[in-house]
Amino acid sequence: MDDFTGRLTRDGIRIHNPDDFAGMHRAGALAAEILDRVAPMVEPGATTGAIDAQIEAWVKEAGATSATIGYRGYQHASCISVNHVVCHGIPGEKKLKNGDILNIDVTVIVDGWFGDTSRMYVAGTIGRKAERLVQVTHDALFKGIEAVKPGNTFGDIGHAIQSYVEAQRMSVVRDFCGHGLGQVFHAPPNVVHYGRPGKGPVLEEGMFFTIEPMVNLGRPETKVLADDWTAVTRDKSLSAQFEHSIGVTADGFEIFTLSPAGKFHPTWA
């Protein structure tokens, strides 16, 4: 036994109770609202450190806790990953330039529940290849989400994402994955963004997890820089990512991290 609600499957995946959806909804809504509010700050000349400081202030103002500050020694309320940074970019003094694309990833804890979401932003005017990458990555996330319903498998999710991305002649990062979450940040299963139909654990009502595909314009390989966090594409090609926290319902899914302002996609910002 542990202190958490629900039960575990044989694969160690937690099945949450119907009441738990409300907690996830509150946490997810706050994370998404913070990503909405940050949009006007993203412009050439802004530093990623200033954006992160504002995010940290908003988390506190809401009476919530940042899940990333103190997580394995990480010291910031967000990860901000610019251009060829795949994920886990550390906010700092570097200024955004016209044409940069960036992912901002925020995880908050509200009444013990974790809301984890990220989306792409653009600084100024971006190039056509960058725009296509952002669009394909966004659409790949939704291909994955549409595969979420009881009876489907995690392999179905990965396959939906991988087959879509590769048909666009882009690549899916394999070195990082989505994850179960709920009253913990990272729990089983690893939600990989590639796979084969029918493989992997079967989805059941009450499972909570993220889907967060990272897509590269070039090759899929990554490396982690000397700071032990920043993951970049080995070939320096542009990379994009979108992330939602999802719950499996009786007939499909609930997205906990929907944008209250409808600003998940950057061209709508």
List residues near ligand MF3 by CB under 6 A.
68, 71-72, 74, 79, 88, 105, 107, 116, 210, 212, 229, 243
Other CB atoms within a 10 A radius of the CB of residue 189 amount to: 18
- 135: enclosing H helix or E strand: helix 128-146
Q: Which is nearer to Co ion, 39 or 95 (CB)?
A: 39
Question: In angstroms, what CA-CA distances link 262 with 43, 189, 243, 269?
Answer: 20, 29, 15, 8
Quote the least distance from Cβ 210 to Co ion, whole Å.
Answer: 4
Cβ(244)–Cβ(143) below 8 Å: no
Asked if 52 is part of the footprint of Co ion (rule: CB under 5 A), the reply reads: no
User: By the 8 A CB rule, do 211 and 169 touch?
Assistant: no
Tokens at 235, concatenated: 């070939």
Tell me the closest approach of the beta carbon of residue 235 to ligand MF3, in angstroms. Answer: 23
56 binds Co ion (CB under 5 A): no
Identify which of residues 35 and 122 has a Cβ nearer to ligand MF3 in the complex: 35
Pick 83 or 210: Cβ nearer Co ion = 210
* Sequence-ordered list of residues with C-beta below 8 angstroms from that of 109, at least 6 positions apart, any chain: 27, 64, 65, 66, 67, 115
- Sheet of strand 171-172: strand arrangement: 171-172, 214-216, 239-241
**Residue 39 CB partners (closer than 8 Å, separation 6+):** 121, 263, 269
Could you say whether residue 100 binds Co ion (CB under 5 A)?
no
Q: Which of 20, 52, 56, 105 lies at the binding interface for Co ion (CB under 5 A)?
A: 105
Does position 33 bind Co ion by CB under 5 A?
no
CB of 68 to Co ion, least distance (A): 8
Q: How far is the CB of 128 from Co ion (least distance, A)?
A: 27
Give the nearest distance from C-beta 151 to Co ion in angstroms.
24
Distance CA 13, CA 152 (A): 15
Query: Residue 52: which of Co ion, ligand MF3, none does it interact with, CB under 5 to 8 A by kind?
Result: none
Identity of the residue, 118 or 162, whose beta carbon is nearer to Co ion in the bound complex: 118
Give 81 or 237: the residue with its C-beta nearer to ligand MF3: 81
